A = this chain, B = another copy of it.
Amino acid sequence: MDLHEYQAKELLRAAGVPVPPGRVAITPDEAEAIATEYGVPVMVKAQVHAGGRGKAGGVKFCKTAADAREKAQAILGMDIKGLTVEKVLVTVAADIASEAYVGIIVDRATKKAVFMVSAAGGIDIEEVAATTPEKILYLPVDPRYGLLPFEALRMGFFLYPDAKLARGAAKIMQQLYTAFINAGCSLAEINPLVVTPTNELVAVDGKMVIDDNELDRRPDIAALRDESSEAPSEVDARKANLTFIKLDGNVGCVVNGAGLAMATMDLVKYYGGDPANFLDIGGSSNPEKVVNALRIITSDPNVKCILFNIFGGITRTDDVANGIVTATKQNPLTVPIVIRLTGTNEEIAMEILKANGFSASSDMDEAVQRAVALAKGEAA
């Protein structure tokens, strides 16, 4: 789950990281009031889950509160990479002497949280990484010991030869790591970490991504989810414990398991079709999940055919069959459905389907070819 900049900064502030004062606004009036309250100049920054806000015109410097109002007016409602800006962060603008980059990510290769820090921070950090990798220090944190003081200080001195700044940065590393662990992050970044002309450290932008698997045990973090910034069908799918990504094709796919779901989409393309979505009903199953999956898929007007591809392991195919029956009784289908089921409780599932007038195949290639044909309007 992505957090907005203003949410990440709240968590960083709570951990002790120096963050410029500010607050979120959803109207130009509020933006002006905040600028007046905290004092100008301020930055007005679009809060959307997309990179490249600045280049899209979603981040503006404002010398006066009236200016903040005007810029907020322009940014609110703006479309950035397909997402509508619903909120702006109005925050005191920091004077910048230098910009550093500090990030932590859970790294597959080392199987640890890894710090990446660079004195060459700012929006071009990826370019720095690609062309001058020696300007980045990688420091994996041993989870058994946590971030040790000497490690934080080593990063501090890598960023700043000045001892006061190095110690200040080391403290911020510890605070960032604490926030990272306490929020169950898979990523946390401060970019830029700014040194002001008066030699103070300020975290001018912050980003956090939460491991979705952490949300159940962190209700306070889960409560930060901003559904207004997500596609409604994805919100719906998540609430139903389904993994759903909308695509542009016309074969609606309902599959169990991410690998099989991807392989099914690949096969749809292989046979000349176009998948309408990625949808994984997950490992353990119950009929309700299938009902929800069908509801979400059928709400997409592009879908011309529905393809179920279920290979039962921990998922019981009888649960899936029951779900199909229940869902189609509630809302009769207006497009054809192709069902492929095999594995756990397959015999029971087949009986349930037959008893309710569905036919089902146990061969994946056959089912996919049939679904592609039906979606094209060809006879099956």
Contact = CB atoms under 8 A, between A and B. Distances in A.
Interface in A139-153: 144-145
Contacts of A145: 144
A141 to B, nearest CB: 13
Interface string A189-222: 0000000000000000000000000000000000
A145 B145 CA distance: 8
Nearest to A144: B144
Main secondary structure of the interface of A (DSSP, over half): loop
Interface in A110-163: 144-145
A144 B144 CA distance: 5
A174 to B, nearest CB: 16
Interface in A159-187: none
Contacts of A144: 144-145
Interface residues of A, number: 2
A138 to B, nearest CB: 22
Copies assembled: 2
A144 B145 CA distance: 6
Nearest to A142: B144
A296 to B, nearest CB: 37
Nearest to A145: B144
A145 B144 CA distance: 6
A341 B144 CA distance: 47
A354 to B, nearest CB: 46
Interface string A248-288: 00000000000000000000000000000000000000000
Interface in A283-316: none
A106 B64 CA distance: 62
A144 B146 CA distance: 9
A86 B145 CA distance: 43
A144 to B, nearest CB: 4
A251 B144 CA distance: 51
A87 to B, nearest CB: 39
Nearest to A146: B144
A225 B144 CA distance: 33
A140 to B, nearest CB: 15
A314 B280 CA distance: 69
Interface in A346-379: none
A84 to B, nearest CB: 44
A114 to B, nearest CB: 19
A379 to B, nearest CB: 59
A327 to B, nearest CB: 40
A276 B165 CA distance: 54
A336 B144 CA distance: 58
A124 to B, nearest CB: 39
A144 B143 CA distance: 8
A145 B143 CA distance: 9
A56 to B, nearest CB: 46
A229 B26 CA distance: 64
A259 B295 CA distance: 80
Interface string A215-238: 000000000000000000000000
A129 to B, nearest CB: 31
2 contacts: A144-B144, A144-B145
List 2 A-B pairs, minimum CB-CB distance, nearest first.
Answer: A144-B144, A144-B145
